[in-house]
Amino acid sequence: MQKSDILTTQELSKYLKLNEKTIIRMAQSGNLPGFKIGNQWRFYLSTIDEYMQDKIVKSSKYDFSRAIQTGENVMPLSRLIDDSCISLNLKAKDSDGVLYELAETAQKSGVAMSLENLLIQMKKREQMLSTSIGRGIAIPHPRNPSDNLFARAAVIVGRSKKGIDFASPDNKKVHLFFMPCAPDVVIHLKLLSNIAKLLEMEGTLQRFLTAKTTGDIMKIFLEAEKARILSSGSL
């Protein structure tokens, strides 16, 4: 399937693994960008991917992780991260440098298939719109997540003590970077949503900023998931 493809409602429902009625309802309410030819909805694949990614990066209030149902369970974030996925002392001085360090961490941890290809896709995504969401946070990710980029699902965490100019909406430097690594767009969107929810939890941001070890970072993920289980009964 090419990014320039125009999809029918049925084709998009298979791509997103959503019921056709849900697709139509979301299109009618403006939650999916599409256009009508006669009485039939049509969708540009590239526009759908970009819109949904940006929607989740900017806000966790619209819960695509609940809307997009698949037969596969996405593992809790704590199970998608280990010591090799965490870099608490990024050396980069600019946005290109930090993207390289994050891609390098993904490769060294065995998550990324190719540092070069991943870096190209990440830069393409930043050229569209900065993945910084303000408050010193960015969620950089590849333009087109796929199994050609990642050997497995994971989350790469990076921290810059001095901060990086990252075209943030609030003009603040970015200190925390969370990079979702997913073999397909559905898992990618779920990871984005779960990361956004994690960062909305009270006190979590400050804990990430002051963590001294990779073990401290892992503890934040584990405790956040425990809190969600206790409050909602699900991950």
User: Is a pLDDT exceeding 80 seen at residue 35?
Assistant: yes
Asked if residue 166 has pLDDT above 70, the reply is: yes
Q: What tokens were used for 226?
A: 């425990």
Alpha helix ranges (H) inside the chain: 9-16, 20-28, 45-58, 64-67, 95-108, 115-128, 185-200, 204-210, 214-232
Nearest 5°: phi and psi at 111? -85, -45
How many helices (H) and strands (E) the chain has is answered by 9, 8
- Strand pairing class (137-138; 132-134): antiparallel
Residue 1, pLDDT above cutoff 80: no
Give residue 89's pLDDT band: very low, low, confident or very high (50, 70, 90): very high
Other C-beta atoms closer than 10 Å to the C-beta of 4 total 8
| Domains of the chain, earliest start first | 6-58 (1.10.1660), 77-232 (3.40.930.10)
Q: Judge whether residue 231 has pLDDT over 80.
A: no
- For position 230, what pLDDT does the model report? 62
SS3 67: helix
* pTM for the model: 0.71
Token reading at 8: 């029918």
